[in-house]
A and B are shown apart, each in its own frame.
Chain A
Amino acid sequence: MPARRSADIKMKNQIPLILLACGSFNPITNMHMRLFELARDHLHQTGRYRVIKGIISPVSDNYRKKGLASAKHRIAMAQLAVETSDWLRVDPWESEQETWTETVKVLRYHYNESLGPLDFRKGLMRNNSPVQRATADSLSSQHTVLPQLKLLCGADILKTFKTPNLWKEEHIKEIVEKFGLVCISRAGCDPMQYINELELLRRFEHNIHLVREWIQNEISATQIRLALCKGLSVKYLIPDSVISYIKHHNIYTEESGQKNEGGLLQPLKQHNMSVNTLKD
């Protein structure tokens, strides 16, 4: 991690923070990874947080989105993409679940996972052995504060909270109240309007971090897939290793684009409604 030459920050008082991004990652692009970098810079510059990890959680195949490549491939591609990163990782838990998992459940799962090492520390403290106590002490000096887990997303997600039957209201509340959002928006867009339109979001506005991307670089995964089908270049938009993987496994073709065609997006099916599918 490059040394940050910003003002003095007392590490101990900073809240350790984990960023979680859910999505299709079909395929992962440079823009997805930019979101993490932008979020981390923003949170660090507040002086209150220290971002310790970024987790990419590709959705399971049961999401049934049109053109969704198999989870096995999407996970592999994301792993190739983060190989050179020292703080981003891919977690396959969500993709391994038998049914589609609501975002709030993914957040709960990863939050509990992050507490794991702390439970270990608590267990150590009960034991009087000096060696184990020393270990516990060193752990506690790293994390005097419980880590927070926040959902990283584009600001357009705020807009989708209003779509009928796409989100359960109690889930939205738990997400913004218990966890928090880091929303990246592009220059020229005003995400505040989405916050103002929903009372739940207004109430927990303090827990929604809005980050502006001034360097436009909107790489739509849909466009990437189309380009690949047409044999056009996507170099410098997604990592070279991901391009090689796609070519080697022949993942995005005209036929693959038709997968799940005519079917219903899983969260909508669960609520028995038909709505236009979300644009990627």
Chain B
Amino acid sequence: MENPDNRTEIVLVACGSFNPITNMHLRLFELAKDYLQETGKYKVIKGIISPVSDAYRKKGLISASHRVTMAKLATQSSDWVEVDDWESCQNEWSETLKVLRYHHQKCMSSNPTKSPQRTAPLTKPGRKRKREGNSHVPIKKDQQNPGTKSVPQIKLLCGSDIVESFGVPNLWKSEDITEIVADYGLVCINRPGYNVQKFIYESDILWEHRNNIHLVDEWITNDISSTKIRRALRRHLSIRYLVPDAVQAYIEKHDLYSPGSEDKNAEEILAPLQKHASSKQ
């Protein structure tokens, strides 16, 4: 598709448990889009919700098929935000960077004649992976030069808690963080109780790429966390108007989120922690 007005096209990708998806998650997309478009420099053409795979082993994480279905119900009324289940279908947990690379590749595949839009030249050698399912695309690194603005830029959409989680030992690989902020970029929605600007200031890598980190203020105090939703459900309290009606109905119909479901993975180690700890031995 031609982009006559020279604005950079953006695709926002949000990774997370979405356990369950809430109105707050959905707001992230709306806020990010408004913010980027108000700068006059960007045009947000798509939002992608990528629920994490069950292999993440987070405590209380219910099955991916439910989480994906709820996210799809939640985005039914949106004309630009959609759900992608590639990540959730993987047998192993995928680093966020891999997910971004996948979606970048997917964007490029749908524009085979165009060159990629990147914020910096790539230096890593390409890798090939087996094709997974009909709608999924093999990951490979491109060797083309950054050129004309014709393939959309992928940006990671997240809340301040994700940015501050960069500091949790073994949760992220530092080279991944670098590539995410250098080659893709972050759109971070401020959340009550976090001070992302301070965190960016205290990190050399984030500071260096601060122009590629967009901080967006939420103008209402929105703290509808999935944790609180699950807690309310265990206590038989109403979650109406905090999650889309269709999601609330689905949860009720399938009786999701009981005290039992919260104990799932209680004895397990979170996949990234396990992976990074063992790779250091």
Point out residues on A near B: beta carbons under 8 Å.
Answer: 2, 4-6, 30-31, 33-34, 37-38, 40-41, 84-85, 214-220, 223, 227, 232-233, 235-237, 240
Contacts and interface: CB of A to CB of B under 8 A. Distances in A.
Contacts of A240: 77
Contacts of B225: 215
A5 B228 contact: no
Interface in B234-268: 236-238, 240-242, 244-245, 252
3 pairs of A and B residues whose beta carbons are closest in the complex: A233-B30, A216-B223, A37-B238
B34 A232 contact: yes
Nearest to A38: B238
Given A2-B252, A215-B228, A240-B77, A40 B238 contact: yes
Interface residues of B, number: 29
28 contacts: A2-B252, A4-B236, A31-B241, A34-B241, A37-B241, A41-B237, A41-B238, A215-B225, A215-B232, A216-B192, A216-B221, A217-B23, A217-B221, A217-B223, A217-B241, A218-B221, A219-B220, A220-B220, A223-B219, A227-B219, A233-B31, A235-B30, A235-B78, A236-B23, A236-B30, A236-B244, A237-B23, A240-B77
Nearest to A81: B241
Given A4-B236, A216-B222, A227-B219, A33 B34 contact: no
Given A216-B221, A235-B78, 18 more contacts: A37-B241, A84-B245, A215-B224, A215-B242, A216-B192, A217-B222, A217-B223, A219-B220, A220-B220, A223-B220, A233-B30, A233-B31, A235-B26, A235-B30, A236-B23, A236-B26, A236-B27, A240-B77
Interface in B154-205: 192
A160 B30 CA distance: 34
Given A4-B236, A235-B26, A33 B241 contact: yes
B43 interface: no
B72 interface: no
B159 to A, nearest CB: 14
A227 B38 CA distance: 13
Name the residue in B31, B34, B225, B238 with the highest tally of chain A Cβ atoms < 10 Å from its Cβ: B238
A38 B242 CA distance: 12
A249 B23 CA distance: 25
A218 B241 CA distance: 12
Contacts of B222: 216-218
B237 to A, nearest CB: 5
A90 B25 CA distance: 30
B33 interface: yes
A41 B233 CA distance: 12
A31 B220 CA distance: 11
Nearest to A226: B219
B38 to A, nearest CB: 8
Interface in B100-138: none
A232 B32 CA distance: 11
B219 A6 contact: no
Given A232-B34, A233-B34, A34 B242 contact: yes
Contacts of A227: 219
B33 A217 contact: no
Contacts of B23: 30, 217, 236-237
Contacts of A4: 236
Contacts of B77: 240
Contacts of B241: 30-31, 33-34, 37, 217
A95 B115 CA distance: 60
Interface string B18-61: 00000100110011011000000000000000000000000000
